[in-house]
A = this chain, B = another copy of it.
Amino acid sequence: MVKRVSLWNAGCPVARSLDAIGDWWSLLIIRDAFDGMRRFGEFQNGLGISKGVLATRLRDLVRRGIFETAPASDGTAYREYVLTAKGRGLFPVIVALRQWGEDHLFADGEDRSSLVDRENGEPIARLVIRSADGRSLAWSDTRVTG
């Protein structure tokens, strides 16, 4: 990545985020991590990604502080890849992508996975953009400054 140095320098947080995770595989790996995957082989099987690419991606994500490695919890000599606080901070990104996909990319009645409240199994609420004082805001109620 780091394709667009000028944009990076432009100080747009969206561009920087995409520079860090905008690769096609990265967010899928992170999604699987949120689903509980930790091992190299789990990611590989789940994604159908080649070993070389997966190794490269994981190394990048570790270098960027999104994953960290830990000794395998099952006592084997291998590593596990777990999300750092920074990586867990991507949860709203995953949720936003999920909700958009649910809204616009599935036919009625088509099977889909769902994100639910662990406590009661209820689907989570929709994301809402709010003002500092709590009003719900549409895109057109906002503006980019700086």
| Interface members, chain A 63-104 (any B CB < 8 Å) | 65, 86, 88-104
Main secondary structure of the interface of A (DSSP, over half): mixed
Count of residues in A whose CB is under 8 Å from the partner chain? 79
Copies in the complex: 2
Residues of B contacting A117 with CB < 8 Å? 131-132, 137, 141-143
Among A3, A13, A139, residue most surrounded by chain B Cβ atoms (within 10 Å): A13
Q: Contacts A24-B22, A27-B22, A132-B125 given: A101-B141 contact, CB under 8 Å?
A: no
21 A-B interface contacts by CB (under 8 A): A7-B28, A7-B48, A10-B113, A11-B110, A13-B97, A13-B105, A14-B31, A14-B101, A16-B105, A16-B106, A22-B24, A22-B27, A89-B103, A92-B96, A112-B146, A118-B140, A118-B143, A120-B131, A121-B145, A125-B129, A125-B132
